[in-house]
Amino acid sequence: MRIDVLTLFPEMFGVPLEISLLGKAIEQGRLTVEVTDIRDFANDRHRTADDAPFGGGPGMVMKCEPLFAAVDSLKDRNSLARVILLSPRGRTLTQAVVRELAEQPDLVLICGRYEGVDERVSHTLCTDEISVGDYVLSGGELPALTLIEAVSRMLPGVIGDWESVTTDSFYDGILGPPQYTRPPVFRDMAVPAVLLGGNHAAIRRWRRKEALRITKERRPDLLGACGDADRALLQEIEQEEAGPEREVES
């Protein structure tokens, strides 16, 4: 997969693209990320990429000419089928969106800055706008890195143990289960016995049930698409939670 990033601050991508699994994916050729400085396509000697907004108002707006020229420069090496503006106005980056994007052969990510980009960029040049959440950052560089990191985990061979991906939060719509490692007892806190017993079917059931319990507590909005097996586990959870109250009442 190829991802082209257009930014006013290319230096922000140096270290993150060199380390951990993302760096290995790039080193192994499973992912190519090229970062382009938008100012290289400005048409004046000051490399101006922003200007005051028409109609007045605070801040500056990223100019359309350098952005259109930067995208045009990618035509020989990127299909330009998915040109994405990182913007708080975009649709939220969910795991479903990540899986959708991971199926593409290439992407272009435009990192907005200042008060935003000229609307002609969003309306004509971009095929999509994506937000990482309902808050505002100084620019789209960190959201772009978030998107790249999330998409890279979906690419074949990037994660050696694919099961570790399928148990991630949101992979199949709910939050992930609790995880434990050695020692089995720490400061009188013991690892659940089921995880130590070697019964893999029981472990899978326990993990799914606890993942549903956590999702019910923290993100009940994610439970709408649960199947029959999950609904049965949720009913068990509700009965367990209601049990002590009935005992007190009696």
The residues annotated with a catalytic role in the active site are 88, 115, 153, 168
H or E stretch covering 202: helix 200-218
Give the bridge partners for 36, in sequence order. Answer: 6
Q: CA dist 79 to 69, 72, 73, Å?
A: 15, 11, 11
**Other residues' Cβ atoms within 10 Å of the Cβ of residue 167:** 17
Nearest to 179 by CA among 210, 223, 215: 210
| Phi-psi category of residue 75: left, alpha or beta, with phi > 0 → left and psi -120 to 50 → alpha | alpha
Q: Is 176 within 8 Å of 169 (Cβ atoms)?
A: yes
Q: What is the DSSP string of 34-51?
A: EEEEGGGG-SSTT---EE
